[in-house]
Chains A and B, each alone.
Chain A
Amino acid sequence: MAEPAMKQSDETGEIFDKGIDKGLARLTPEKIEQVINKVLSAETGARLKTYVNTCVHCGLCSEACHYYLSHDNDPKFSPAGKVKQTIWEILKKKGKVDHKFLKKAAEIAYTECNLCRRCAMYCPFGIDIAYLISVMRRICHMLGVTPLYMQDTAHSHSATLNQMWVKEDEWIDSLFWQEEEAQDEMPDLRIPIEKEGAEIFYSVIAPEPKFRAQLIYQAAVIFNVAGVDFTMPATPGWDNSDQCMFSGDYEMMGRLKKAHFETAMRLKVKRIVMGECGHAFRSVYDVGNRWLAWKMPPIPVTHAVEFYYELLKQGKIKITKKYDKPVTLQDPCNISRGRGLHEKARYVVNALCEEFIDMQPNREHNYCCCAGGGVINTGPPYKMKRIDGNRVKAEQLFAAKARGAKVVIAPCHNCHGGIEDINHHYGLDMELHFLGDIIYKIMEKPA
């Protein structure tokens, strides 16, 4: 994918991104100042002010950040260090910042922070640094300074209500196609489309129909075997993913979540069950609903990990023989720190696998995969930055491998993408699976 957008200056190491660079070229100093102050005055308030006033510059958040750890404790990559280079400076200069500053700030906000919220557990004051970085992203979005690849997904969201430019007929066709495929294995299998009053609306992210269609196949098999009353919509609103939440396009985020919730309402389902994706869960369960003024989602939202837990616990799916390769588990930020599903994930893993070797640190304290928060969606220009920025994940995985783990289970699409790249780059040579992959493989299926 050697495209012009990937150009990188050899001398300075400066990365050229068409979205950021061209966006900046359009801006005058007056415009910059005006937009920044508009965002600050209209959209920020007590939280921003209190957080900035409370931070005593102690640096204790540093060791929370995988970027900081991966860059040999370079203070520029510490959480507060990144806030210093973005929000502090903007507040100090009252929005009178130049292009050079903004380029750096955009890079920091979009490609050097995954909004993983680990630092909130290391700051004694519980300062929400991810929020502060989000404010920077919001400013960048309002200035039109967003990474090209990420903006492309945001455009897709606004044009199609899904992340991957999947057209309506392509979506329906993908479901039919996977249904047919799966019927070879299980002749009476159905992927019920538009079934009003079904128990569950199964929602996925657009990359599943786009290039991981087998995940839909596997989910269909699992649901059919377990006798789950589910449906998938034929209309836009099926996609639960949300890059607009990460680019700073909150208006669009609101539209996406509205479409998603309304689809669930239209189908009169009792709840939404989501595939193995972390950021989508964050958007549907935690962030998007707030933009729509729902304190909690208007309809219960269950992540796949929790759903598998229910199925196993209730004996709706049975295991023929436990998975025999030793596994380790990547706790995705958005469902561990974001939903506390780590214990349920362990229950599922232990129910499925013979040998489970935990990573260190784990659960809420696990390191981010460095792909989430939209960082992987900034695409090829920043790929190496992302991989270099998570050496510590490679070390963590090597340690798990040294203790016997051969397989990494990552119940999140972003974690998958991130760890896949880390796996190749650092030569980890570990297998990578979703929980669904393993359940599908070892579950009892009707002969």
Chain B
Amino acid sequence: MGKRTLIIYVVITLFVCIFAVMSGYSQEDVTTVEDSAFEEKMRPTVQFLHDEHNEAAGLEECDVCHHVYKDGEKIEDESSEETECSECHTLNKGDNPLSLVKVYHLQCKGCHQKEKAGPIMCSECHPR
């Protein structure tokens, strides 16, 4: 029994190692939606594979999501990849994080609803 258990442990450890290494590699890609403004998280972080999403959604322009607005108007050909959403979207200081949650939700879920593709229900983006 001892020998068998040992083999099982070794196999499991091996798998875990491979997985860890692989995910270490893919870390270079964007895999989650993070924002430092969310200090306390009520739900798990949203998993988001940036490149795969854009490929599936047929998105080529960055500014579809990483938009820049000035005086209420979207500025074409400008994008904001380097800024966190919360830098601009911390509008109503009082009811954060609700306002920020709202813009994230509308950005993702709103588009999915419109395009009739992609996750829309709570559990689809925030699995336990």
Are A and B direct contacts in the complex by CB distance below 8 Å? no
A residues near B, CB below 8 A?
none
